[in-house]
């Protein structure tokens, strides 16, 4: 059977057996279970079950001619229109579902993401918040996600976003250089104690705390909890008071 067509139907939502039977019916125009079995290499007992599911969904129908049961496929346009209707209904209900999603919960919500692209997506979300607090090692971030560090520098230099942040950085040449580039755009920087290394990057934004593993493997855990965000913010502020302000030359 045509693999691209099967893949399209399974992407649409049919399982492999349903997709095979539906395509067989399209090719036959009208056919009995024996004919469908020859085209799909499926057992007759399975085909009866699959046909019943397809008919329940409106994707196939039973014809009334002759003693032998015969079946026909629905017009593919009907599948498309059915999917469009489902999407329209989903879009209509989306505000209500988002309201449920955003309703405060007593338990925190955890999300785990792995890989560079996932981490870049999380940082892009952080950048949309007006304020954030970071405990970071720009040196390590630049080793694993240099494109994100470059994007931060470009956006701050060109004033393409209104984002005020406080950064606690490791005391390295790379971190000091990063601070020098973007400090004019309202960002605040202080240095962690000399020799303190960061294998994890901590970000506090809104009601969320993101903990990023800066290494191999790359992953980030996002915890959505107002109580946790408040507590981590209090610890951040305490550390901020004891951290060393960065003195940058004007050159």
Q: Are the beta carbons of 200 and 166 closer than 8 angstroms? A: no
Instruction: Report how far residue 181's alpha carbon sits from residue 88's, in angstroms, rounded to the nearest whole number.
Output: 47
Cα–Cα distance list, 108 to 92, 104, 225, 227 (Å): 28, 9, 5, 9
Q: In what order do the strands lie in the sheet with 31-32?
A: 31-32, 70-73, 60-63
Residue 86: predicted pLDDT: 76
Domains and CATH numbers, the chain: 3-78 (1.10.10.10), 109-245 (3.30.870.10)
Instruction: Report how far residue 71's alpha carbon sits from residue 210's, in angstroms, rounded to the nearest whole number.
Output: 54
SS3 letters for 127-148? HCCCEEEEEECHHHHHHHCHHH
Residue 237: predicted pLDDT: 93
Residue 51: predicted pLDDT: 92
Residue 234: predicted pLDDT: 94
- List of residues 6+ apart from 3 with CB closer than 8 A: none
Number of continuous H segments (helices) and E segments (strands) in the chain:
10, 11
SS3 letters for 184-205? HHCCEEEECCCCCCCCEEEEEE
- List of residues 6+ apart from 114 with CB closer than 8 A: 217, 218, 219
Taking the chain (251 residues) in runs of 10, the rounded mean pLDDT of each run is: 80 87 89 90 91 88 75 85 78 73 70 83 84 88 78 64 78 84 75 82 92 83 90 92 74 45
Residue 251: predicted pLDDT: 45
Q: Are the beta carbons of 192 and 198 closer than 8 angstroms? A: yes
Count of other CB atoms within 10 angstroms of residue 251: 4
Residue 93: predicted pLDDT: 75
């Amino acid at each position: 059977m045509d693999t691209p067509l099967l893949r399209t139907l399974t992407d649409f939502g049919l399982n492999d057996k349903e997709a095979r039977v539906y395509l067989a019916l399209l090719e036959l125009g009208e056919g009995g279970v024996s004919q469908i079995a020859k085209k799909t290499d499926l057992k007759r007992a399975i085909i009866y079950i699959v046909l019943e599911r397809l008919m329940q969904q409106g994707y196939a129908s039973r014809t009334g001619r002759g003693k032998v049961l015969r079946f026909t496929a629905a017009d593919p346009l009907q599948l498309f229109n059915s999917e469009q209707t489902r999407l329209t209904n989903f879009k209509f209900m989306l505000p209500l579902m988002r309201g449920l999603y955003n309703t405060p919960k007593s338990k925190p919500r955890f999300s785990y993401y792995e890989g560079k692209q996932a981490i870049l997506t999380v940082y892009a979300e952080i950048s949309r918040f007006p304020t954030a607090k970071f405990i970071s090692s720009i040196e390590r971030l630049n080793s694993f996600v240099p494109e994100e560090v470059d994007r931060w520098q470009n956006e701050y230099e060109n004033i393409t976003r209104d984002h005020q942040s406080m950064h606690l950085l490791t005391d390295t040449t790379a971190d000091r250089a990063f601070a020098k580039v973007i400090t004019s755009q309202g960002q605040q920087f202080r240095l962690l104690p000399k020799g303190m290394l960061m294998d994890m990057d901590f970000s506090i934004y809104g009601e969320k705390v993101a903990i990023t593993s800066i290494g191999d493997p790359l992953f980030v855990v996002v915890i959505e909890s107002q109580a946790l965000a408040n507590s981590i913010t209090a610890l951040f502020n305490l550390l901020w008071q004891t951290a060393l302000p960065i003195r940058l030359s004007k050159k």
